[in-house]
Structure 1
Amino acid sequence: MKKILIAIVLISSTFFYAQENAVVKVNIPSEQAYQFTPIVDIEASAVKSQGKTGTCWSFATSSFFESEIYRTTGENIDISEMYTVRNTYPAKAWNYIMRQGTAQFGEGGLSHDALNSIKLNGLVPESAYSGLLHDAANHDHSKIVPELQKVLDAYIKNDKKSTARSWKIATDSILDANLGITPENFLYNGVVYTPKSFLEMTKLNTSNYITLTSFLQQPFYTTFILNIPDNFANGTFYNIPLDELVNEVDKALEKGYSLALDCDVSEKTFSQKYGVAVVPENIENNEKAMTYIVEETTVSPEFRQVEFENHNTTDDHLMHIVGLEKDQNGTEYYKVKNSWGTAGERIGNGGYVYMSKAFFRLKTISVMVNKDAISDVLKGKLNI
């Protein structure tokens, strides 16, 4: 065998190989811009804008149910987010009254709030109830909650002019004036429906949905009420180990099921502008991570728990997981549909965000999923 001497010199991320008097130059990129390739891509409706509202919970969950309807029927149906919102405000008002003003009263909510409303009030299409009046093009609820709260607080303070009947009438009047009167029946594709008959037509089975989470303050494979501000309805969550949560999300997507996602997007490394959400190991790489692949933090259940308990992780936004992507190194990301629209310099990637699994592990509060999508093993553990 002929002995070959190889000298390697690193200059600006370029290797020079000297081999038998010949020099071969090989460029090794020191920075890799994201290049995503789809692994799973589930049918989803067009990206919408929630406008100046805190109603992401309805937009995300409605989008989730739209995908569920398409999966089972092949029909693309544009659900009215504001019909659900309109019917949920009174439920929040009742909770606020019964807790004598000590509960949070606001625009926010969770996926089970949309589900609860649909079970009770049915569904309507966007064409039957947009929640936009007087030629308004965008949603804006900034004045609704203060108006409602003024009425509710007056009743709580035993204002002699305020009665149980009066606050309910006032609440409905404010909502009707700002969002419109909900329809008792409407025409859709040439057929007259009520909200209940329309729900039946969509074949959406409201008993099929559960919410999964992963926290250490409660035993795994049990249900509990997660104590977060927007859980005014005291919705229950199935608690499972973090690795299992990630695996179940992956399996659901592989089977063609999407998921509604509740998470924290307050981190600087969640960027709608660049369409990525990551957790750099070194915070000095936060800005770079918006456009280039960087090493990410390993997120343990213990680290996740600390960030939740110190309120660095809160339930501040809901979105819709509709797929799985990978970068050129094989690292996987969830394709997440947001509800901040598609226009403007701060909106990139068509309104979608590619969320790394590290970010998901750290910042996810919960996911809503069709129970048919979860594994038989987990069903057995949860007695579903």
Structure 2
Amino acid sequence: MSKSIKFDDIKNYQSDLDKRSDAKLVGRAVSHQGVNAVSANYSSEIANKPVFSIELETGDVANQKRSGRCWTFAALNTLRHRVANEFNLKGNFELSQNYINFWDKFEKSNFFLENILNTANKKRTSRKVAFLLATPQQDGGQWDMLCALVEKYGVVPQSAMAETYNSNNSADLNSVLNLKLRRDAVILRNLVNDGADKDKIAAQKDQMLNEIYRILVYALGEPAKHFDFEYRDKDNKYHIAKDLTPKKFYEKYIQLDLEDYVSLINSPTDDKPYKKTYTVELLGNVVGGRQVKHLNLSIDDFEKLAIKQLKNGETVWFGSDVGQASDRQKGIMDDKLYSRAELFDTDLDLTKAEQLDYSESMMDHAMVITGVDIVDGKPTKWKVENSWGNKVGNNGYFVMSESWFRKYVYQIVINKKYLSDDLKKAQAQDPILLDPWDPMGTLAKF
């Protein structure tokens, strides 16, 4: 039975507060300085100095600016590290994030329209249709979605397709593109429900994609098809490769088989037993391309594999909840950064599973682990390459405490060669289908 708040209840609550000798002092401090400033633990800054026993050289950080392309930046950063090291590149080399962004938005538009057709027999108010219409496409994505794009379209250096205003500031483009896709959804659903034949529907959808392609070219530029790649190495020697295609560039300079890299998650919720694989319904971009697939492991397995890959000279793409206990100016991610429970004298503790189940935490940002500090055989902190430019953190790099890693890191990408035979077998399983709104798919919604 519902119970409303009574004025006598409020009187009792105020009486309880008045009995606290420090109430006015705490109230003045919090109201004038803010919750985080008053609850800050400066010992966290001391404990998370940017010094690491294992540290990979990765160069200057990139800057995604006012866009949600962290997953793309993080993935291309892992690839550019390989190119820069392998070919001894001089300067701040970057792969074109805008090239991937163009094809991602085009493929996501087609993915959305196909799902609208597939759900046209459902009521518009059904949860799945409402989920599709809430965000037809967006900047976010997943590792496997990046792989699907690279496998189909290749990659290019940033010199072949530079950033534009709209790639750096994506809100306006997303707004008009989502308006266009919602209007297209009205048309397609009406055609299906009016009994239109398949050829008419296909022709209408083709015209929609033609218009979307035009919008993207205007906003992001025409995708590179053929280009020359020239650079000077660290010995100041000049190099040029002429008339490359995006796929030839990938084969010549990156030379990675993306099938070797798999997504691992740590989701200790009851609905996801460890050593099982999972996919998320309605999550993807390239129709017929690589499926999003996660192998769920314990945090201990997670950690050991990340360290193993770092020790072998490879950085680690990862997804986390960057908004939790994070100071972007100091470049610290530490769950002990603020003592808010102590400040307010209340219990604010949730387990990692409870955080996910009760929507307190979810994946919202992808970055790259480039180092780790190991003391007495155990990790104490991690070095993180972000994609927010060099004016935050330590020239754009962050320090992530070990306890923050265990609490707020949900996904890493690991080369299969570092998995045990048992884990390789587990990863090969057919994935269990999760609901579209599962927290293991939220990175693609930002």
Distance (Å, rounded) in 1 between the aligned partners of 2:205 and 2:367: 36
The normalised TM-score by structure 2 is 0.68
Amino acid across the alignment from 1:312: E
Q: CA offsets per residue over residues 184-212 of structure 1, 9 Å max, x none? A: 10001222200111111021222211111
Task: Select the structure with the greater relative contact order (CA < 8 A; seq sep ≥ 6).
Answer: 2
Distance (Å, rounded) in 2 between the aligned partners of 1:284 and 1:90: 44
Which of residues 113, 123, 127 is equivalent to 2:155? Answer: 123
Distance (Å, rounded) in 1 between the aligned partners of 2:337 and 2:73: 32
Q: In the TM superposition, what is the alpha-carbon distance from 1:365 to its structure 2 partner?
A: 2.0
How many residues are treated as equivalent by the alignment?
334
State the match for 2:403 in structure 1: 358
State the match for 1:99 in structure 2: 115
Q: Does 1:152 align with 2:181?
A: yes
Q: In the TM superposition, what is the alpha-carbon distance from 1:131 to its structure 2 partner?
A: 2.9
State the match for 1:222 in structure 2: 276
Distance (Å, rounded) in 1 between the aligned partners of 2:87 and 2:265: 29
Distance (Å, rounded) in 2 between the aligned partners of 1:381 and 1:67: 30
Whether the 8 Å CA contact 1:45–1:78 is kept in 2: the answer is no
Amino acid across the alignment from 1:257: E
Q: In the TM superposition, what is the alpha-carbon distance from 1:127 to its structure 2 partner?
A: 0.4
Distance (Å, rounded) in 1 between the aligned partners of 2:335 and 2:283: 25
**In terms of mean alpha carbon deviation, does 348-357 or 366-375 score higher?**
366-375
State the match for 1:270 in structure 2: 326
State the identity %: 20
User: Closer, same or farther in 2 for the Cα pair 1:119/1:37, shift >3 Å?
Assistant: same
Distance (Å, rounded) in 2 between the aligned partners of 1:370 and 1:198: 22
Distance (Å, rounded) in 2 between the aligned partners of 1:99 and 1:110: 18
**In terms of mean alpha carbon deviation, does 248-257 or 154-163 score higher?**
154-163
| Runs of 5+ consecutive residues of structure 1 not aligned to the other structure | 1-29, 288-296
State the match for 1:335 in structure 2: 383
Q: In the TM superposition, what is the alpha-carbon distance from 1:36 to its structure 2 partner?
A: 3.8
Q: In the TM superposition, what is the alpha-carbon distance from 1:244 to its structure 2 partner?
A: 0.9
Distance (Å, rounded) in 2 between the aligned partners of 1:364 and 1:31: 22
SS in 2 for 1:323: strand
SS in 2 for 1:37: coil
SS in 2 for 1:349: coil
State the match for 1:177 in structure 2: 218
SS in 2 for 1:143: helix
Whether the 8 Å CA contact 1:147–1:174 is kept in 2: the answer is no
Distance (Å, rounded) in 2 between the aligned partners of 1:226 and 1:74: 40
Which of residues 248, 252, 255 is equivalent to 1:201? Answer: 252
State the match for 1:12 in structure 2: none
User: Closer, same or farther in 2 for the Cα pair 1:314/1:199, shift >3 Å?
Assistant: same
Amino acid across the alignment from 2:179: K
Distance (Å, rounded) in 2 between the aligned partners of 1:201 and 1:331: 36
State the match for 1:279 in structure 2: 335
Question: Hey, which of these two has a bigger chunk of strand by percent?
Answer: 1
Amino acid across the alignment from 2:140: G
Question: Hey, which of these two has a bigger chunk of helix by percent?
Answer: 2
**In terms of mean alpha carbon deviation, does 143-152 or 275-284 score higher?**
275-284
Q: CA offsets per residue over residues 217-273 of structure 1, 9 Å max, x none? A: 22322211157x966675010111121111111222122221101111121x21121
SS in 2 for 1:66: helix
SS in 2 for 1:319: strand
Which of residues 313, 320, 337 is equivalent to 2:368? Answer: 320
| Runs of 5+ consecutive residues of structure 2 not aligned to the other structure | 1-41, 117-128, 192-202, 231-239, 430-446
State the match for 2:96 in structure 1: 80
Q: CA offsets per residue over residues 80-122 of structure 1, 9 Å max, x none? A: 1111111111221122222326423211111222111101100
SS in 2 for 1:163: helix
Distance (Å, rounded) in 1 between the aligned partners of 2:342 and 2:78: 30
Distance (Å, rounded) in 2 between the aligned partners of 1:132 and 1:230: 27
Q: In the TM superposition, what is the alpha-carbon distance from 1:50 to its structure 2 partner?
A: 0.5
Write the mapping of 1:9-28 to structure 2, written as runs, cut at 5 A: none
Which of residues 51, 56, 60 is equivalent to 2:74? Answer: 60
User: Closer, same or farther in 2 for the Cα pair 1:371/1:54, shift >3 Å?
Assistant: same
